[in-house]
Amino acid sequence: MRTSIDARANLHLIEDKYRLWQQNPDSVDSGWSAFFEGFELGNLPERNGTTENEVEAREAALQTRVDGLVYAYCTLGHTIARIDPLAETRPANPLLRLSEFGFTDSDFDLCVSSKFFLDNRPMTLREMVAGLDRIYADSIGSEFMHIQDPHVREWIRRRLETRPHKHSTPRAVQVALLRALLESESFEIFLHTRYVGQKRFSLQGAETLMVALETILHKCPDGGVEEICMGMAHRGRLNVLANFLRKSLKVIFTEFSENYIPDLVAGDGDVKYHLGYQAVRRLASGGEVEIRLSSNPSHLEAVDPVVEGKARARQRIRADIEHRKKVLPLLVHGDAAFIAQGIVAETLTLSQLHGYSTGGTIHVVVNNQIGFTTLPKDARSSRYATDIAKMIEAPIFHVNGDDPLAVKFVSDLAFDFRQRFGRDVVIDLYCYRRYGHNEGDEPSFTQPDLYAKIEKRPSVTQLYKRELLDAGTLSEDDAASLETEFDLRLEMTRDEVNAIEKRRANQKAKFRESTAIFQPEYTSESEPTAISEKTLKTIVEGLTHVPEGFEVQPKIQRIVLDHQRKVFEHGGPYEWHFAEALAFGSLLLEGIPIRLSGQDSSRGTFSTRHSVLYDAKTGKPYVPLMHLAEKQARICIYNSPLSEAAVLGFDYGYSLEYPKMLCLWEAQFGDFANAAQTIIDQFIVSAESKWQQPSGIVLLLPHGYEGQGPEHSSARIERFLQECAEDNIQVCNLTTAAQYFHVLRRQMKRD
């Protein structure tokens, strides 16, 4: 029987569970079983003598209490951790009081040890409590005991216990951290004073995000990562563009110009904090890492599955589909949106699925403890904004954003965890928002006490600089030199931009740096899409043939394989599903790969496609379309989870990075496509206009199943027609199987 984590810290409950475990190890859940492995507790005699058995019993009882204390800290230490930079007092948890484990102040000098802490090293109880407090309840609060795999838990525990003391951190590392903070703060202050009132969604209060990003980046070359696929919302985006992707400051300042309009081929453009960017960072170590920041709409978290799909496609391009180590998905979230937006849960669900896994994602939650004007008590029903990630057993590291060394440590740990285990990991960066939601907002209207406190608080940059100065790691001259260097670079760049604007006089400032992909104009003239009879015969033979020993289910043999053979021999009539299979087969023979994804897609909602056959006895799958010829492209057919928004977003992202593949998403019924309306509205129909970002994704919307009620009869075609503008999409209301065949082929023949 499963029991709550909090209850496990109760000594009496531990003893009861231990007795059950002794009688039958299977009578308690795996968490208890792992806890009790390795030591035996005999029946406790009355303690009125000094026999050898009584001494052993007392020692065993003490060991149980010590192990219970260690386990409680591993499980609950995060609840009393000093992770909130604005907190005036430390959180308390009565379940972690020493009295809960039968200890008193007189026990502090007892010599104790535990196999669950520092390799059973002997120490006093006082030293053990101090060590547990430093590791599990200081600037880092770790949640990992919900992970079922004991090897994963043990790996995390050992890494946490071997965290180096901050005094052992090399000077070069500490100065590099300060440099990252100074760059971030100087950039924000410069924009705040030189472009007064303009929206930029400042990172101030969360500058250690740059420490996390730089730490992850610098681990990439040695860790085998060649590319980062990144997504984030508006908060701190300009800072990330300037200081992480190294986008030209000249371009950024030009975008702040009152006269600025983007130099677009077509379309409407978008605000500067929605724009994507691509760059190659060349590191001091000699390594290079490509970074791709996806464009995103204002709809928070909608970009998450798009980034995952892009990362999966990039892994295929880099021939890394087995281990998925070379391309790292990195998502930066806000606390309020991460717990509230359903697409986050949908995207997390994809993380370990065969057709959608990207080998693990590093999630960084910029937890400024407020969503516009909404406080956590109104924003969620859970303790943490990150609790949603527990459903996929992701480790979660809550960290005080005003402790740069702690942020660096958890970033190192998160990267290594992802590379080792291929799973998602979450960094919950506890910080604050120095100003309002945007630069025109006044936060003291709704949170006067909070913002009175924030106004008095020095920035993390100034706090860390003072720490280095006090420790003698940095001199006043060194610190002043760094600050002057950044300020001077910003001022000189702005002067250069102003000079250019003056020379242009009556001209509009133009955007001169773009990563856009330009698409040729639409034409109604179709490329040839017919195929030869010889090719048709090759496809049919492959579709209707199964390997020797493969036992086809009798009904499938009759209504699919035998029927397709007869249709071909008689020259028709071809049904829709057969026409689709022929179109797919012809593209595969031409070297064009295909990805088909959706609910029940391998069989088809209406039991018509049957693209995957299953042996009637063994259940072994067989895909006829993969066996048409020795040299052909690959088709990937995936039954998706019961999600529309995340799956369509994923497949859309895939199509962006792999335009030479036919990517199709199929709604179970066309009517259900509106569950993915945000992806359709904000990406598919508008991305080319906003971001010059075309996609060749195909949406299959089966409908017209008359008599089945209002949710199964219409794909709401009128909505798609309303969204047609400037040749952005093609709505194909097909009436014959032949049309379906040719339109699928035309999709990959177009320019």
CATH of the domain at 36: 1.10.287.1150
pLDDT value, residue 1: 37
Strand stretches in 227-270, DSSP E: 227-232
Do 266 and 322 lie in one domain? The reply is yes
Residue 301 belongs to some domain of the structure: no
Residue 298 belongs to some domain of the structure: no
- Reply yes or no on whether the pLDDT at 620 is more than 50: yes
- Reply yes or no on whether the pLDDT at 109 is more than 50: yes
One-letter amino acid at 531 equals I
pLDDT value, residue 50: 58
Tell me which of 50-59, 255-264, 509-518, 551-560 is least confident.
Answer: 509-518
Residue 429 belongs to some domain of the structure: yes
Do 316 and 225 lie in one domain? The reply is yes
Residue 378 belongs to some domain of the structure: yes
pLDDT value, residue 41: 40
Range of the domain at 721: 533-749
| pLDDT tens by residue, 243-269 | 999 999 999 988 887 666 665 545 677
How many domains is the chain built from? 3
CATH, residue 726: 3.40.50.12470
User: Could you give the 3-state DSSP secondary structure of residue 292?
Assistant: strand
pLDDT value, residue 36: 66
User: Could you give the 3-state DSSP secondary structure of residue 32?
Assistant: helix
Range among 417-426, 494-503, 718-727 with highest mean pLDDT value: 417-426
Question: Final residue of a domain: which of 138, 157, 180?
Answer: 138
Do 459 and 563 lie in one domain? The reply is no
Report the chain's mean pLDDT, rounded to a whole number: 90
| pLDDT tens by residue, 672-700 | 899 999 999 999 999 999 998 999 999 99
| Widest Cα–Cα separation across the chain | 100
Over range 546-550, report the average pLDDT: 95
What is the rounded CA–CA span in Å between residue 29 and residue 381?
A: 27
Do 131 and 171 lie in one domain? The reply is no
Tell me which of 160-169, 258-267, 343-352, 636-645 is least confident.
Answer: 258-267
Predicted confidence band at 519 (pLDDT cuts at 50, 70, 90)? low
User: Could you give the 3-state DSSP secondary structure of residue 414?
Assistant: helix
Do 587 and 641 lie in one domain? The reply is yes
pLDDT value, residue 516: 46
| pLDDT tens by residue, 724-743 | 998 999 999 999 999 999 99
Residue 143 belongs to some domain of the structure: no
Over range 222-249, report the average pLDDT: 95
pLDDT value, residue 505: 52
Strand stretches in 523-676, DSSP E: 594-598, 613-614, 621-622, 635-639, 662-666
- Reply yes or no on whether the pLDDT at 506 is more than 80: no
- Reply yes or no on whether the pLDDT at 644 is more than 50: yes
Do 326 and 181 lie in one domain? The reply is yes
What is the DSSP secondary structure assignment for residue 599, as one 8-state letter? Answer: T
Residue 159 belongs to some domain of the structure: no
The distance of Cα 269 from the centroid of its chain, to the nearest Å, equals: 26
Residues present in the chain in total = 751
Over range 159-168, report the average pLDDT: 90
Do 264 and 398 lie in one domain? The reply is yes
**Between β-strands 288-293 and 277-282, what pairing exists: parallel, antiparallel or unpaired?**
antiparallel
pLDDT value, residue 24: 80
| pLDDT tens by residue, 124-153 | 999 999 999 999 999 999 999 999 999 999
DSSP-assigned states of every residue in 482-518: HHHHHHHHHHHHHHHHHHHHHHHTTSPPB-----PPP
What pTM does this model have? Answer: 0.90
pLDDT value, residue 47: 46
User: Could you give the 3-state DSSP secondary structure of residue 199?
Assistant: coil
Choice between 715 and 724, residue whose per-residue pLDDT is larger: 724
Predicted confidence band at 426 (pLDDT cuts at 50, 70, 90)? very high
Over range 109-132, report the average pLDDT: 94
- Reply yes or no on whether the pLDDT at 554 is more than 50: yes
In 3D, which of 109, 99, 129, 102 has the Cα closest to residue 117?
A: 129
Residue 20 belongs to some domain of the structure: yes
Residue tagged 């030189």 (tokens) = 194
pLDDT value, residue 5: 39
Do 569 and 481 lie in one domain? The reply is no
Could you give phi then psi for residue 356, rounded to 5 degrees?
-135, -10
- Reply yes or no on whether the pLDDT at 450 is more than 50: yes
Residue 299 belongs to some domain of the structure: no
One-letter amino acid at 361 equals T
Predicted confidence band at 705 (pLDDT cuts at 50, 70, 90)? low
The distance of Cα 702 from the centroid of its chain, to the nearest Å, equals: 31
Over range 513-541, report the average pLDDT: 77
Give the CA angle between residues 430, 434, 438 to the nearest 5°.
110
